[in-house]
Amino acid sequence: MRTPSLLATAARWFAYAALLAACLQGIVAAAAGGAAPGLLMRDDGPVETAQLVFVSLASASFGWLAATAGPGRTLFRVLACLGFVAAIRELDNEFLVHGWREGWVWTAMVPLALAAVTVLRSPRVLAEELGEFLGTAAAGLLFAGFVVVVVDAQLFGQKALWIPLLGPDAYRPVKDMVEEVTELVGYVLLACAAAEAVAARRRAARG
């Protein structure tokens, strides 16, 4: 009984690593093929689009976990809402193009408010579910993805880091590429965390 479980776990983690490697290799191949960094990193470019896809997949997966019978529904509802906030943030340029600069902020208030209501209505249940969740592999992936998106990408995106290295006229393409690729890595990790949580739910349902 243990061997199939170990093999399944190894296969999932290999798939996560392969997915991340494929994303990075795709960027390398595009750059090697002559794609300009500005084209790759612009708001409607492939890297930003991939970010939106992965954070949307993560949020939708958490939403499915929240909507179906099983443990952790309250926690997954909060995670789904926060994921949708991040997805809306990735669409900020679309709001700008249509003349509503702060539109993403007001739109993001909807899932953010739902997350806040969920926390306020069920703090004890949420705390219990969070305690159980923290012992899972999905929690580790989720924490890693969160740190990469919220902390690492922001640190790498600071002009103060790149201007002394590359100069004020040449730093921008490198800064944007490092920042956006780091953010993409974080979103891939979040999607892997959601996939791991779904796999855990399915194992629990099978008993």
The three-point CA angle 152-156-160 to 5° equals 135
User: What is the reported pLDDT for 3?
Assistant: 44
The tens digit of pLDDT for each residue in 79-125 reads 999 999 999 998 888 888 888 888 889 999 999 999 999 999 999 99
Q: Residue 191's closest CA among 157, 148, 130?
A: 148
What number is the average pLDDT over the span 31-38?
A: 67
Q: What amino acid occupies position 203?
A: R
User: What is the reported pLDDT for 1?
Assistant: 38
User: What is the reported pLDDT for 97?
Assistant: 82
The tens digit of pLDDT for each residue in 128-167 reads 999 999 999 999 999 999 999 999 888 888 888 889 888 8
Unique residue bearing structure tokens 């991939």:
50
Rounded to 5 degrees, φ, ψ at 121 are -80, -30
Inter-residue long-range contacts of 153-162, CB under 8 Å, 24+ positions, other chains counted: 153/179, 153/180, 153/182, 153/183, 153/186, 154/179, 156/182
Residues 6+ apart with CB under 8 A from 140: 193
Residue 42 token pair: 């612009």
